[in-house]
Chain A
Amino acid sequence: MNFLKSFLVILIILNFNSLKADEIKMQNKITKNLRCLICQGQSVYDSDSEFAISLKLVVKHKINEGFTEDQIYKFLTIKYGEWILYDPQFNKNTYFLWFLPLLIFLFGGAIILKKLINIKK
């Protein structure tokens, strides 16, 4: 019986650990996608500036409060603008950005196709 109890306790602790690990994973994932606005070319995850340290804390608090990843991004874009995200969201300001590679790809494909047809002729 005792063995079962201690087994259960250990199981619960381990479970708790994995929950915590998930939180840290999510925090890291989010902060890696956030641009440190006062240090150039670094993510919040990489930076140790005062701004980044506080932002990491805010993300941690928000995760604890039950915010989802998207909600946290939304919260921060309201405060700091779209620029804070490394991975810009899909909206009317970024249509061009998202579709440009596709357009270039299609354009290139059309050129190649035209050349091939010309060669065949």
Chain B
Amino acid sequence: MINRTFYFFTVIFLIFVFVIFYRGLNNSNLYTPNTDIKKIPEFTSKTLIKKDSLNSKDIFNKNKFYLLNIWSSWCVPCRDEHPLLINLSNKEKIEIIGLNYKDNPNNAEKFINELGNPYSVILIDRDGTKAIEWGAFGVPENFLIYENKIIKRYIGPLNSQLIDEIKSYIE
């Protein structure tokens, strides 16, 4: 009798362990946090082209969608997503704000001159601390904002599928 219950529990235990590990196999090992932050952080930053100082309150204040794009000239995937951003910037209902992450200003300007400027404003984050305020991991990363709230975040580069998704949000 004891032997049978022992086998029974062993089998149950093994099945339990198997299910947990099997499910774990399907999980992505890239961690994405629950997007608890809905409010956009407040910050002041210098801008890349005009070189003036701007507060976040003065940026996200229109009745429009905003896409905050964290980018850098040294980031290769940013180069790939750039044409998509230029395409998206033609839409009237959305404004793209750049956050230049840990970049050399000269290189950043060269990047923009070379590939075009989809951004209405480019903010500078020299030491990466502003990106942390946003809860960002690195470059590239995008936040879709409406009425001062983050409605969607995209970690990693955008592709045409995700751009279509953004377009469906704004229309």
Q: Say whether B82 faces chain A, with CB atoms less than 8 Å apart.
A: no
Q: Which of B11-53 contact A (CB under 8 A)?
A: 29, 31, 33-34, 36-37
**Residue A79 contacts which of B128, B135, B138 (CB distance < 8 angstroms)?**
B135
Interface string of A64-83 (1 = CB under 8 A from B): 00000000000000111101
Given contacts A57-B127, A58-B129, A79-B132, contact A51 B34 (CB under 8 A): no
Docked pose: A74 CA to B138 CA in angstroms:
21
Given contacts A80-B135, A83-B31, contact A54 B37 (CB under 8 A): no
Q: Which residue of chain B lies nearest to A83 when distances are taken between CB atoms in the complex?
A: B31
Given contacts A40-B29, A80-B33, A83-B31, contact A54 B137 (CB under 8 A): no
Seen from chain B, the residues whose Cβ lies within 8 Å of a Cβ on chain A are 29, 31, 33-34, 36-37, 102, 127-129, 131-135, 137-138
Chain A positions within 8 Å of B132 at CB level: 54-55, 58, 79
Chain A positions within 8 Å of B29 at CB level: 40
Residues A50 and B37 in contact, CB atoms below 8 Å apart:
no
Given contacts A54-B127, A61-B129, contact A38 B37 (CB under 8 A): no
Q: Please classify the interface of chain A as helix (H, G, I), strand (E, B), loop, or mixed, using the class held by over half of its residues.
A: helix
Residues B36 and A78 in contact, CB atoms below 8 Å apart:
yes
Q: Say whether A24 faces chain B, with CB atoms less than 8 Å apart.
A: no
Docked pose: A17 CA to B135 CA in angstroms:
33
Residues B127 and A37 in contact, CB atoms below 8 Å apart:
no
Residues B128 and A57 in contact, CB atoms below 8 Å apart:
yes
Docked pose: A52 CA to B153 CA in angstroms:
21
Chain B positions within 8 Å of A103 at CB level: none
Residues B31 and A50 in contact, CB atoms below 8 Å apart:
no
Chain A positions within 8 Å of B37 at CB level: 78-79
